[in-house]
């Protein structure tokens, strides 16, 4: 691992399925940039995945290396970024327990992202405590690596807020050990789903995967939600809230062309089929090299596992060091002499 003096970056993904375009826009694109300037840790969050998948441990397990493959395919470079598995750093769980004292139940129940996820998953009346407290566990993820920056999608803002509240409480009570973190949110902070809902998400099943095969990509694009009132080609259509245009904004380099298409669509005279075929070509050009690289790395899964193993070892050493300081600040440094 190259030594870098610069600030530390921590972020991650739940291994609940392969990664999709939303992950790319929300976080992966920033990580690819940040690994060149910062010391970056990327976590495969299997513990967090279990909070709402505890009945499907095999699914979580199977997706760990799939997520690692996605990282490699988009250009997260294991020479620059430490990729690790959350559950293999038990210090994170330990720190979470200490943090739980610093957070009230009411505060957790107010978290807007957790609230809407509970609703989506139908968990309102039987919330696993582990799920409710996952923002506390995220605070442990971030602070144990002393991260300054956290590149994430907009849905993660409440988690960073919660993290910094915990940091302030901890430092006030036990001394100045932890540092506050800052979310790095991209210009397009939330990519909508193919069904037009506000967020592309594995849970909602409205995704386009980074490893999507061409024929599936075509089917998904051609059946995307658009403006339901845009019936005849000549009808004026809505650009606002139309995910086809959101994807063009995110992935088409030809800004002048996107501006022309928007104008034509709003005025009437641009049909959904023609528009979607154009988007398909844009996404095909973006995804083809990613899929090819993914297949190449997938030929040697042992090597993928090996680099995650090495990253996990490095990450654990950093976490252990922070925990020594935390334990000592909390008067838990037994048997040291």
Residues that bind ligand ATP (CB under 6 A): 13-14, 16, 22-23, 25-27, 152-153, 155-156, 190-191, 199-203
Smallest separation, CB 64 to ligand ATP (Å): 12
Position of minimal CB gap to ligand ATP: 26
For residue 155, the minimal CB distance to ligand ATP (Å) is 5
CB of 152 to ligand ATP, least distance (A): 3
CA–CA distance, 28 with 75 (Å, rounded to integer): 9
Least separation in angstroms between residue 301's CB and ligand ATP is 21
Closest to ligand ATP by CB, 188 or 326: 188
Q: Which is nearer to ligand ATP, 185 or 282 (CB)?
A: 185
**Which of 311, 312, 316 shows the shortest CA–CA distance to 91?**
316
Query: CB atoms < 10 A from the CB of 90, how many?
Result: 14
Tokens 């086809």 appear where?
244
Q: Which is nearer to ligand ATP, 27 or 226 (CB)?
A: 27
Smallest distance, ligand ATP to C-beta of residue 27, A: 4
Residue 84: CB minimum distance to ligand ATP, A: 15
Neighbours of 162 (CB within 10 A): 22
- Could you identify the residue written with the tokens 């099943």? 205
Decide whether 32 or 191 has the Cβ nearer to ligand ATP: 191
CB 163 within 8 A of CB 181: yes
Q: Label the pairing between strands 182-184 and 81-85.
A: unpaired
CB 53 within 8 A of CB 16: yes
Q: Order of strands across the sheet with 149-151?
A: 81-85, 39-44, 8-13, 149-151, 182-184
Polymer length of the chain: 337
Nearer to ligand ATP by Cβ, of 13 and 91: the residue is: 13
Nearest approach, Cβ of 166 to ligand ATP (angstroms)?
19
Residue 24 in contact with residue 74, Cβ under 8 Å?
Answer: yes
| φ, ψ of residue 232 in degrees (nearest 5) | -90, 150
- Cα separation, 62 vs 46, in Å, equals 10
Considering the complex, state which of residue 62 and residue 263 has its C-beta at the smaller distance from ligand ATP: 62
Question: Could you tell me which residues come within 8 angstroms of residue 303 by beta carbon, excluding any fewer than 6 positions away?
Answer: 297
The nearer residue to ligand ATP, 66 or 156, going by C-beta atoms, is: 156
Nearest distance from C-beta of residue 38 to ligand ATP, angstroms: 16
Residues 6+ apart with CB under 8 A from 47: 86, 87, 92, 93, 137
CB closer to ligand ATP out of 51 and 323: 51
Q: Which residues pair with 39 in a beta bridge?
A: 8
């Amino acid at each position: 691992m190259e030594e870098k003096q610069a600030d530390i970056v921590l972020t991650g993904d739940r291994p609940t399925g392969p990664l999709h375009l939303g992950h790319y826009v929300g976080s992966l694109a920033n990580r690819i940039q940040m690994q060149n300037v910062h010391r970056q840790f990327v976590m495969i969050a299997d513990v967090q995945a279990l909070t709402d998948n505890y009945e499907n441990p095999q699914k979580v397990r199977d997706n760990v290396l799939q997520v690692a493959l996605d990282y490699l395919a988009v250009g997260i470079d294991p020479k620059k970024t430490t990729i690790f598995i959350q559950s293999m750093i038990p210090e994170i769980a330990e720190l979470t327990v200490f943090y739980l004292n610093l957070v009230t139940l009411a505060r957790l129940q107010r978290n807007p992202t957790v609230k809407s996820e509970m609703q989506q998953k139908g968990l309102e009346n039987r919330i696993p405590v582990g799920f409710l407290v996952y923002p506390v566990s995220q605070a442990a993820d971030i602070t144990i690596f002393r991260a300054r920056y956290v590149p994430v999608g907009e849905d993660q803002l409440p988690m960073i807020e919660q993290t910094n509240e915990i940091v302030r409480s901890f430092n006030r009570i036990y001394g100045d050990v932890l540092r506050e973190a800052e979310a790095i949110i991209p210009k397009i902070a939330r990519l909508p789903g193919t069904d037009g809902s506000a967020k592309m998400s594995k849970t909602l099943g409205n995704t386009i995967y980074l490893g999507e095969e061409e024929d599936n990509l075509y089917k998904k694009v051609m059946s995307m939600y658009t403006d339901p009132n845009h019936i005849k080609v000549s009808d004026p259509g809505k650009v606002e809230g139309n995910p086809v245009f959101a994807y063009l904004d995110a992935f088409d380099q030809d800004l002048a062309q996107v501006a022309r298409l928007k104008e034509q669509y709003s005025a009437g005279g641009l049909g959904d089929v023609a528009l979607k075929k154009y988007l398909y070509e844009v996404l095909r050009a973006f995804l083809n090299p990613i899929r090819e690289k993914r297949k190449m790395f997938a030929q040697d899964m042992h090597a993928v596992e090996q680099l995650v193993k090495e990253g996990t070892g490095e990450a654990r050493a950093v976490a252990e060091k922070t925990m020594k300081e935390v334990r000592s600040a909390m008067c838990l440094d037994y048997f040291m002499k």
